Every structure is written in C-alpha cells, then in structure tokens.
Structure 1
C-alpha cells in the first residue's frame, strides 16, 4: 500500500513544476525503498483484501528503467548456457580463494569490490557453495523402469553445488538421480538442458519478452522429453514451476518438489522417520501455489520433530537480491536464529537460493527437503 501511495504522489508531483525539488528527493528514496528492495514474491497479494500484487507494479517500473539494458538481456537469453558457465568459473575461483584466505577476509574483500563496482558485483555470502559440475557428467539411468519422469533441474541447481557445511556433498542434481532411481523411476533429461530456463530471472527484472522466450523454449523441450505429456515433469525448485507454468502446455503434468514427493515418491519408498529436530522453511511460491499445508504434511511424514519458526514469511533472498541487497534478506530473517530450538541442527526448504540466506542467518545448514527424503527412505522390496 505504501508503494502504491507513493507512486501516486510521484505522478502528482510530476505535474507540479514548483515541486521539482521534492519530486527528485522522493524519486531517490522510492528507488531504493520501493524498487531495489522489493522481493517481488507476491505474498502481499495474499495479505491484501482485494488481492493486489504490488510486485507487478515494481516489475513494470523495472521494465521501464531497464530498457537501456535490453540488448544485454537478449544476449543472456540467447547464450544462457554460456552465462551459467561463466558463473561456475567465478564460483570455483571464489571457492579456491575462500579456502586460502577464509570466509571473513573473503567477505571484506568482496565487499570492497562490491562498492567499487557500484553494486554490479554481489556481496559474498559465507554459505556460498562451489559450482555444480555433476550434471554435465550425468547419464540416463542404467535401469530400464516402467515408470519414467522428465527431470528439469533449475538453473540455480545446475550452477550451485552443495552447501559447504552440509554432510552430504552431493549436489541436488546428483541426489535427484539417486533418489529417483531408488524410487524406480527412469530419469529423462530434456535435450540442451543447460540452455533452458523458466524465465524468472528475466521476468523479475522487467525483461518480459526474454522471459516469454525462455518459457516457450522450455515448454517445447518438456513436450518433446515427455513424449507429448506421456511422462510427468518434475521441477526441483518451487519458484521455477510458478514461473514456467505461465507457458506450459495443457497436456503436460508438471510437479513441484512437494506434490511429486507426496504423489509419486512416498508410495514407492519405505520411510523410517528421523527423530532429530529439523527446521522447515516454506517458500513464497509454495504458499502462493496453495501447498503450504502439503509441505508441512510431507515434512511431518519424514521427521518426528519438525519446527516451523514463527513470524518468518518471505526470506527476502528473492533470486539474486540476496547477493545485491543482502540487507533485505537480513531484515526478513531477523529473529530466525533466536527462534530455533537449541537442538535444531539443520533445516529444509525447496529453493536453492533461499537456502543460502537461511543457512547464513539461522546458523545451521538448510538444504532441499529431498536430502531428508533420501536419508530416511529405502526402496520398497
């Protein structure tokens, strides 16, 4: 509501020549308070009595502001595989540097680079993982099962490896292959998967044409991989499916991690519940999809002692905002660490970037709920 009110005031002041000084001051404050630090998660629409999503307003303004950078967005969309390869090289270099100088010095060093680059280089996060190279080595399942699933790994999970502090060093992509094989599924990977994207990285910045282009490309790849909808499609990250759904063909059966686990994995696996205390973070996209209770139910089927921290809604990481505006993530997760029981040593969620910020501010490693599912399950005989 505040963003909407100030936006109206800006429009009013724009028509008042004698109010130019006030207009400039308000525009400067509005840029940071309303545009740069808007997570765009859409949870505001759930709290609003008439369902207004202020994130749509923010993205519209970003579209206007980012017009000069549209050619860069076109290039990134066309060379998506190359863009992620560059990110992996940067992650590997950063990981090696961290091993030599430590997280504290690394944080200070990157903070200086961030200031010199005027925010173009993101801030360093202590829980930043090394790059994930496993997928390029992945091969189709050796077993030929009657059940098949098209697995679409998000660009975040294709790029980011495991949390440096977690015991299981497998990337999520590797774990997914192992878990699906255990459940009796042959894994189908879409062709040229490294170039595919749900469109969200472009849509969130107001590059709507590029977002639509990537959604269309992904839809075509999934239709082909699923043999025109014969096999279900699994997204390993909750926010991605919400974005991709805007361009998905009607004949495709697409699943987020929660629904697929409940409907396809639990019936195929024997579960021995964990008795440790595990914190659960339910992502904004899961809530918007109406799957909040489903995710809580799933977690309770895997663990006897699930802790859902009070007063934590959106984590504030918001894609890359956690790197460019870490204060947003910090503010959203204020009190998280104090809200955790002393015996809570780990957390689960369903979005890789969210888990980076959660790990840092909770002081315990967060990872995909599929790691827990893999731990407590065995194939049914």
Structure 2
C-alpha cells in the first residue's frame, strides 16, 4: 500500500527534495539497520530541526501514516526499521552543553555517545550508559533503548541518570521538562494526558501484586516492554512521562534532547582475568564480587575463550583450559592509585579461597588492559568472522537473577547443544546476571527459520517463566521480543503497557509492531538474509560501526550501505532481475564517492575494508591500462607537466582572483564533471632547487629522504605564510637536527604507486612501488640508513606492501618524534593550533607520535571532532569536490580560534585549508618554527 497522496504532497511542499528519498537504492540502503530484519521504507526523510519533526508528526497523525525514528541504526532487535516512513537525524542534532562544571550535560539525539564522553573527559566525568556500540551509537537511540553496558549496571543507565528531557508527542506538541514556561504551558494544553498518566500510576501503586512485580523486574537489568517502573517511582505525571520515554524505542514520542546527571570517570584502573574450573564456581565468585569495589565483572564461558584463543597476543595457556572452564574479567577503578591498591587487595581477598585454573593478576599496564579487554570484545567478532556465508550473527541478551546465574548458564548451554548451535558462545555482564549469547543463523531456508523459532520459544520460557528473568536486558524489545512481552510480564502488566501506548499514541502511528505487537509471529517476519556478494565483504553483519568514520556517509553511502547495495545487486542478478538502474545509481553513490581509505576496517568488528571492494570494482571497469603504463613509465615528465599546470593556475588566480576562479571552475565542473575545480588553497608549483650532492666524508647520521610525488609537484598555497616548499623545509629541519640528508636517484620520477592503485590499476601501482624500492635500497645502502617518508598515505603503502623488505621506513610523525625532536631545543609556540590526523596516520598507529610532536611545539592543540577523513582521497578534492567539502562541513567553526593547522599529507592540507579559515601545512613547519639547534 502506498503512502497517502495528501501526506506526500504536504511533505514535498514543505521539506527540501534533497532530504526526501524514495528511489530503490536509497530506501534499501537507508532503511537498513543492525538487526536481522529487513523492511524497505516507502519514504525516508532526513530531518534537521525540531519544527520539521513536529510537522511530520502532525501530518502523520492527520493522514494516519506510520513513522519510525532512527539515530545511528546500531540497534539489534528490529526497532529502527520501517515499511512506511523512516525519519533519520541529519547534521544539526549534535549540540552538547556541559553544565554545572560537568555534573550535568545536555545532549541532542544526534550526538555520538563517545563524543559526549570526550566533552566531559577533562572534568573526569562521563555519561552513565556505556554500550559496546558507544563509538557509533547516538544519544537518541541510547535513551530510546535505555542502553547500559559493561560498567553501567542498573544504577547508571539513562533512566537512573535522567535530569531532564525535551520531547515531542504523536500530535507534534513539545515539552521541555527543564523549561518552567514550557512545562507550565504543557500542563494547560495536555491536562487530559497528564491526568491519564496520574491515574495509571495511582492504579498501579494500589495494585500490590503488580507493584511488587515491577519492583522485582527492575532490580535486574530489563528493557523488555515499556518502563513501567516510572509509574511507581514518580508521582508527578510529567516525571512519569519523561521516564516512560526512556526505553520506549520511539513508540511513544520523539526525544529532542536529554540532560544527564554525569558520573565519575576515575583515572586509576586495573584489570585481571581469573579462570575458574567450572561455571558454578565462577558464579559463586560473582556473588561475592557483587559486594566488592568493582567497576565491571565480565563472564566468558569456555566457548568464548576458545573463540579467541588463537588470536595474536593471547596467552598460550588458554588452549589448555578444561572444557568446563569459565572466566571472569574483573576491573576496578578509583580516584587515585592509593585507593585503587586498597580496593585490589580487598577484591583479591574476597575470591582467594576459590580454586582457579589460571589467572592474570590485576595490572595497570595499558598493554595488559588492552589485551584483556580485547579478549572480551573480540568474542563477538570471532563468531562473525568464522560464520558460514549466507548466515547472520544473532546476539541475544537475557538476565537471570544473580543467585540462579550458574544454573541459567548451564541451561542455556544445554539448549545450544539441543538445537545444534555448535558455534554459540556465551558471555556477559555477570554482576547484573546479564548474559549475551551469540550464534549464527540462516533465514533463507524454512527449516532453519523453524529451528530458530523453536529455540527462541524455549529460551523465552526458560528465562521469563522458569527463572523470572528478563528476555531483553539492554538491547531493547524491538520486533524480536514483542510477541513475548506478555509471557514475561503477565496479562495485567501487558495490558497496562497497551493503555500507556493508546494514551500517548492513540492512532498507533509511532513505530507500530515494536515493543508491543498483536502479531504473535512478528519476530519471524521480514527476516534479513545476507547472501554472498564478494568474499571481501561477505562477513559483514551490517552493524553500522563503520559509519562515523566514513567521509561520504550522509552525502551518498556509508560502508555498510555500500555493502547492502552490492549484496542486493548480486542477489537480483542471480534471480535474473534487471539491475541496470540500480548499478547506474551505485556507480556514483557507491563507487565514485568512496574515498577508499579503509578507516571503516578499523571500526568493523570483523575487519572489513570496504575500500578493497571499491578498488576491485574500479579495476574491473578500468579501460586505460596502456595509458596508465605510459604514465607510470614517464612519471618525471608527468610530474613536470603537473607543475606547469599549477603555474598556469596560479597565473589565472593572479588575474581573476581565487574566489572567481573557484566559482567559475565549479560551474564548469557541474557541466563537465571531468574538469577539476580550482580550490581556494590550490597550491602553487613547487620551486625546488637542484638536489645537493652527498658528502661521503660526512660523520653525521644519514637519513634517506623519500619526498612523495605531491611534495615534488605541489608547493605552498598563495595563502600560506611560509612559502618554503615542503621538500626544502624538511631538508632544512633534518639538517638542523644534525642529519646528512640523502635522496634516491632520479627522485622526480619516483612514486609509491598509490595514485594508480586507487584508480584501479594495480599492476602499474606495483611496478612503480618496486621501482621505488630498488632506488631506496640503493640510497640506504641496503637498508642500513633509515628512510624518512614525508606523506603518510605513501608511507602506509610502502609499509603495507613491502613487508619483506630490508628497508627501515619511517613515517614523518614517527621519525620526527623519535629521532628529530631529541636533537633539537624546543621553544613551544604560545598558540592554539589544529591538527588533522590523516587516514594513513591512523592506519600506521602513529597518532600518538603526531600528537606528541604537536603538544611539544604548541601550548594548545585542537583535534576537530568528527573529522576522521578529509575526503580528499588523492585527487577527489579537485575532481569530486562535493566529497571533500561534505567531509569537512563542520571544520571551519571548530578551528576558528586556531592560528594554524598541521597535518602530514599535502593533498589533505589543500582541502583542509580550502574549507576552513585556517592555513594547513605539514607538521615539519610547526617543528621548524618551534625549534632551535640544540648544541
């Protein structure tokens, strides 16, 4: 059934067409979330203001159109998908306001959870919820699902730390509980609603049996159904309303902002791993640890430990553990080291008498901490990485009363065995009796769906009826558990939830069939299949963790959405369907606008680099191999021609002015997209002096300087204060530090091959790479001397592709911090400078070195939030400027107070300078300006 014409007409008349999506590619990709359900919305709307949300709700109410809201789409239970209208948060929902010196923080729903904590970090505070998805999940979803996490427990979730909320109801009306005027007006206009809530609360409190059940249910982690505890915890109907919104999953209204009471973020912490001989012993220890000063206690069954035992860095003894072994990962935190030590002694003493198979004692060493938490966090990816193509990974989330945890664990394991989920693992937040179990499941065969259905029926009866636990502890009810809410809560509580729903959403337009559904089989409908598409991406579980670091996400497609689209194209081809239009749309949306930097792989639980797929697709469509070979073979001449083109561009700038050049070339580019755009910070041609001869008699330490092709071609921009070319500035700095600088022969013709690789010409890329390797070996005396590489993306390619080489290759950040700075006298600049951490720097794990240099050379260093990749992507800043501009859309405001910007890639610096008020240059300019000869 299509959407009402009157609704569509009203929406199209009021909202910009650029934020309305109804084409097949957009509705498929934007409609996908992390759950194992697939619904295709008829219309996707990206909203940028509260007024727009209110308008949509009023129109939806008027025309009885179902509406679903989505923040990041990392939810797992089917609460963020729709076959009607899906409303997505746009860019303008990211405001953060730290209040009362960090005791409270006001957040809009588009703020990523980790970014909220970054805003509080300098005050040693954080928000209470700490879900595993916090680096991708947004506040709107975290509130709507009442997310918790490893250290959050039941005391620090959103419900317990809520200070205020601004919300919109189904009729489009708004109330802000922190604004007295808004509250006063709402009490007048919504007397009936508030009176209804007050009456429901009164009836609930008077029902002793129901009240007792509610109190019991929320002593443990519980997100099944609506937050009925609001009816007995509060008497003011407005307080009841705001707390009912927590965990309502978009079924009762839209959360426009939330104010949290923050919690301490203690700086001192230590972690241990203790392995017990069996589940019973392990769970007995948990009950004692519950009374100790612990921040987190994570349980890992033997299957979980087995799933990670072969990973790099894992202790060898894990493989030797008994089949019934069960481990606890224990963390304690304190305000200072002395108090932490006292806590650790207390914790150790509490479990000292238990038999143990093995253990890693409490450690404050960051390396040990990372290893132990990686062991816990890698359990889920381990299952995902090994799953059979065509299956999906399901994470279920239940709670047992703590005193029955051991029996609950063993009963779940027996169900895994009964239904032959041999790969299933079990882990969880033991202090709260909260267990996650992960297994793989096919949904493309009726017998497999039947197996899943029977398994979930037994699990639901086991947890909810036999143990009186929660079927959803922290992942939300969604569609997944909607048919089982009455089983867990009983008829009276279930009917009470429906009364709340009818009171707040009388027409049932808000996220129907989520949390509450009259369809007993809703959890078995619209199941998502993950068909084979390409081995590079087949392990993707569509979680969306990759999206925050993708420069194209929101402009076109994110990595998750690219994979969804490519899967659909391949599946439709297998079915004999015409994919011409889909592939045509995917060319620009998926292939052309992918920066292919691979940052997505760093966030992906199973390490998928979507850029690898895109490069493969580009290679298949590459039609100019002979041209590429010619360019590779005459690279010095090509570089010379590129310099002359920059000379011409600079002459035109002087004649016409940069703004006019930019505007005119933009207009031409829109008509002829093969023509590059002149950017405001387009560099001048590098004016380089002849290379100096090496002094063989020099006693100075030698360093071979590999200047990337862009460093030999691109000089400073006309805006830059320091007009010294990068190659010259770098040589001056290295010589200031006492080095003899060596250049490879015929430097002007060298290239690491990156431009060819990114365009889909891997052979030519490899030819240039190995040609360069030979010259670097010769210049470095077969690897005796270090190689300094001035451009991070090029360094990354060298280190990634030349793994067996004798060359000692250093990225500029590493060499400057470890070898150059110790040889110089530093006089930090009393300035605020901005730093851009390139994709290459991140892949090389050189961020710490880069920041150490910046902080040693300037008193204040700013790292703009949300700028993970600048989107220049080699030459796309010139040839597809929309990507670069979009990726840097939030840069200018953040760096406005800064005096200069620094990075380690010339092309990135061009884009950064063009779309901000700041001039960006290589990090060597900062080091040179802040340093003197030491002796």
TM-score grouping bracket, smaller chain normalisation: over 0.9
Q: Deviations over 1:132-191 (max 9, x none)?
A: 1315x2314679342111001000110000121111110101101111111111111100
Aligned to 1:53: 609
Q: Does 1:197 align with 2:756?
A: no
Determine the C-alpha separation between the residues in 1 that align with 2:595 and 2:787: 28
Aligned to 1:161: 715
Q: Does 1:64 align with 2:620?
A: yes
Q: Does 1:25 align with 2:549?
A: no
Q: Cα offset for 1:205? A: 1.1
Report matched runs for 1:1-381 at 5 Å. 1-17=560-576, 19-20=577-578, 23-66=579-622, 68-115=623-670, 118-135=672-689, 137-140=690-693, 144-245=698-799, 246-247=801-802, 250-342=805-897, 344-381=898-935
Q: Cα offset for 1:341? A: 4.6
Q: Deviations over 1:89-109 (max 9, x none)?
A: 110011011101111221233
Q: Cα offset for 1:112? A: 4.4
Conservation of the 8 A alpha-carbon contact between 1:155 and 1:197:
yes
Conservation of the 8 A alpha-carbon contact between 1:145 and 1:184:
no
Conservation of the 8 A alpha-carbon contact between 1:163 and 1:367:
no
Conservation of the 8 A alpha-carbon contact between 1:196 and 1:218:
yes
Considering only aligned residues, what root-mean-square deviation do their CA atoms show, in Å? 1.5
Determine the C-alpha separation between the residues in 2 that align with 1:270 and 1:308: 25
Conservation of the 8 A alpha-carbon contact between 1:278 and 1:347:
yes
Determine the C-alpha separation between the residues in 2 that align with 1:203 and 1:231: 28
Aligned length: 374
Conservation of the 8 A alpha-carbon contact between 1:232 and 1:252:
yes
Conservation of the 8 A alpha-carbon contact between 2:895 and 2:918:
no
Conservation of the 8 A alpha-carbon contact between 2:895 and 2:917:
no
Q: Deviations over 1:251-282 (max 9, x none)?
A: 21110011100111011111001111100110
Determine the C-alpha separation between the residues in 2 that align with 1:301 and 1:108: 40
Higher strand content, 1 or 2 = 2
Q: Deviations over 1:48-86 (max 9, x none)?
A: 1111000000000000011x2111111111111111111
Q: Deviations over 1:293-316 (max 9, x none)?
A: 221122111111111111111111
Unaligned runs of 5+ in 1: none
Aligned to 2:80: none
Conservation of the 8 A alpha-carbon contact between 1:238 and 1:351:
yes
Conservation of the 8 A alpha-carbon contact between 1:140 and 1:186:
no
Higher relative contact order (CA 8 A, sep 6+): 1
Conservation of the 8 A alpha-carbon contact between 1:212 and 1:247:
no
Conservation of the 8 A alpha-carbon contact between 2:896 and 2:918:
no
Q: Cα offset for 1:13? A: 2.1
Determine the C-alpha separation between the residues in 1 that align with 2:809 and 2:663: 43
Conservation of the 8 A alpha-carbon contact between 1:219 and 1:249:
no
Structure 1's 31 and 335: CA in aligned 2 closer, same or farther, altered over 3 A? same
Higher helix content, 1 or 2 = 1
Q: Cα offset for 1:120? A: 2.3
Conservation of the 8 A alpha-carbon contact between 1:238 and 1:350:
yes
1:88 aligns to what SS in structure 2? Answer: helix
Q: Cα offset for 1:2? A: 1.3
Determine the C-alpha separation between the residues in 2 that align with 1:71 and 1:293: 42
Conservation of the 8 A alpha-carbon contact between 2:783 and 2:807:
yes
2:656 aligns to what SS in structure 1? Answer: helix
Conservation of the 8 A alpha-carbon contact between 2:834 and 2:862:
yes
Q: Deviations over 1:218-265 (max 9, x none)?
A: 100000000111111000011101112213653211100111001110
Unaligned runs of 5+ in 2: 1-559
Q: Cα offset for 1:115? A: 4.5
Determine the C-alpha separation between the residues in 1 that align with 2:896 and 2:686: 32
